[in-house]
Amino acid sequence: MTLKIGVIGTGMIGRDHTRRIQQVLAGAEVVALSDYNPDAARAVQADLAPAAKVYERGEDLIAAPDVDAVLICSTGATHEAYVLAAIAAGKPCFCEKPLATTAEGAKRIVDAEVAHGARLVQVGFMRRYDAGYWMLKDVVDSQIGAPLMVHAAHRNPAVPEQYVTPMAIHDTLIHEIDVFRWLLDDDYVSAQVVFPRKSRHAHGGVADPQIVLLETKKGIRIDVEIFVNCRYGYDIQCQVVGEEGLANLPEPMAITLRKDARLQNAILTDWKDRFVDSYDVELADFVQAAARGTASGPSSWDGYVAAISSDACVEAQEKTGQIIPITLPDRPALYD
């Protein structure tokens, strides 16, 4: 059976996921496209999915009888309404991060899915599908004793004018917020944010860099540098220090070049290249589960916890230096 997919939001990542379904993965095809800007949907149709129907409204795409499952790749503020519509229609949906822009919105999704009685939602936390993080988790679980500290960095070469200080949390840090819960099998109890000297390359609307300090239930201390105008490349670093050893996230594969009396390794500059394989694997997982009418991988609960934790980090930005507690509700059995 070929899973018939509708894609809502055909900007950068919606286009890339459409390419993945059409050209890389087996078992699915894109039969419907929708974007707030219909020209964007038609451009993706022309380039990648000529047989797909273009819908003016995402709600109509979700309701279409020939759409089995939905990818939600529109801007973050629109995710909640589309995910709720997919759950109401009983259709599996893959939702790019964030699941919702508020914790209350994410909770509404959890409540709707629990009322439905089975998982339908996968959140686009692709790092859980990255081979490097898998290797790191294996070593953390088996080789270095109890983890004590994590030192991490999330660096982008540059960000556009519309990128403002809280986005360092809910657009950028949110990947670390999710992946460390998975890596350490833990949850957060508090957050604190401090700001080093501001880079002269950061535009007026963003405090950059920032350091986020998280503490987990098990007492692990995590420091994450977020530096979104680092200039030199797209660079994700993660080091876990345990009682009996220390493990680093592997660097992406790169040619070692000896030339002109220099030893060089290229550094990637684009997140699309850094996690290209992880996006393939996460969507393959979605297609497999959706073909069975369900979802696996990062859940609505994970999206909800990420939203609660992000809200605390944004408050910690606003109250610089203060330690903000993070309290989670009980997890519904659906997500055990």
Ligand X SMILES: O[C@H]1[C@H](O)[C@@H](O)[C@H](O)[C@@H](O)[C@H]1O
- Note the residues at the interface with ligand X (CB under 6 A): 156, 171-172, 175, 228, 271
What b/e string do you get for 226-260 counting C-beta neighbours within 10 Å, with b at 16 or more?
bbbbbeeebbbebebbbeeeebebeebeeeeeeee
Length of the chain counted residue by residue: 336
| C-alpha R_g of the chain | 20
Residue closer to ligand NAD, measured from CB, 34 or 210? 34
Closest residue to ligand X, based on beta-carbon distance? 172
Joined tokens for residue 275:
């996690």
| Among 5, 7, 8, 32, contact with ligand NAD (rule: CB under 6 A) | 8
By the rule CB under 6 A, 157 interacts with ligand NAD: no
Residue closer to ligand X, measured from CB, 152 or 228? 228
Binding mask 110-149 for ligand NAD (x = CB under 6 A): --------------x-x-----------------------
The partner in contact with residue 78, picked from ligand NAD, ligand X, none with C-beta cut-offs of 5 to 8 angstroms by kind, is: ligand NAD
| Among 3, 28, 30, 35, contact with ligand NAD (rule: CB under 6 A) | 35
Question: How far, in whole angstroms, is CA 24 from its chain's centroid?
Answer: 20
Could you tell me which stretch among 11-19, 109-117, 226-234, 243-251 binds ligand NAD (CB under 6 A)? 11-19
Place of tokens 């501001």: 198
Contacts (Cβ under 8 Å, ≥6 apart) of 109 = 80, 83, 84, 87, 99, 100, 121, 300, 303, 304
Q: Please state the closest distance from residue 119 (CB atom) to ligand NAD, in A.
A: 19
Q: Please state the closest distance from residue 29 (CB atom) to ligand X, in A.
A: 26
By the rule CB under 6 A, 76 interacts with ligand NAD: yes
Joined tokens for residue 209:
């860099």
Residue closer to ligand X, measured from CB, 55 or 129? 129
* Cα→Cα distances 179→89, 104, 160, Å: 30, 22, 25
First-residue to last-residue Cα distance in the chain: 30
Q: Which residues bind ligand NAD (CB under 6 A)?
A: 8-14, 34-37, 40, 58, 73-76, 78, 96-97, 124, 126, 171, 271
